[in-house]
A = this chain, B = another copy of it.
């Protein structure tokens, strides 16, 4: 049995949490629990979706894998979340983040001296936490800490984790089960490929949010 805890907090991004959930949860014998300050519904950044936390941080802090999703919000993470991340990290096999969740690992003090990545709009902020940014990586493995790029990168990261924990064949089976053969209709997924005016538009919108 592999245990996974996905941390929820007010304003989290849904796909940051559910991409890794559907990948990791597809593996037989993997038990995933959504955790939050307290059990119950937790709203995302748009307040149009709520996921239910089944356990509180106090109830579950000893797991094999921690996943910390990101948020568009600019407010500093709550201390109760940072405390939980620090506590859980002591006994994890893997401590991971998706998107700007890396800034939460950073604020918890876990990225000091580590290589890491995050959403492209937040990449410059990693240095504030003593991390060396790797902007061209889809996900970065440094010791037992794995950080991934923006939102959808959590799916790629989770498949990598499945391979590390349960072997390549299991990861391939999960990929096939999710029919993960992506065909984005446009080639605008990174600032390197998106039109410059689109990049500027998204950066402005994200800077203005939260």
Which residues of A are at the interface with B, using a C-beta cutoff of 8 A? Answer: 13-15, 18-19, 21-22, 25, 31-34, 41, 46, 48-52, 54, 99, 119-120, 138, 149-153, 155-156, 159-160, 163, 168-169, 171-173, 175-186, 188-191, 193-195, 198-199, 201-202, 205-206
Contact = CB atoms under 8 A, between A and B. Distances in A.
A193 B180 CA distance: 11
Nearest to A13: B22
Contacts of A54: 48, 50
A125 B21 CA distance: 28
Q: How many copies does the complex hold?
A: 2
Contacts of A173: 188, 198, 201-202, 205
Contacts of A149: 179
A152 B178 contact: yes
A176 B195 CA distance: 10
A189 B171 contact: no
A22 B15 contact: yes
A177 B159 contact: no
A163 B184 CA distance: 12
Q: Which of A48, A51, A156 has the most CB of B within 10 A?
A: A48
A31 B15 contact: no
Nearest to A193: B181
A190 B149 CA distance: 24
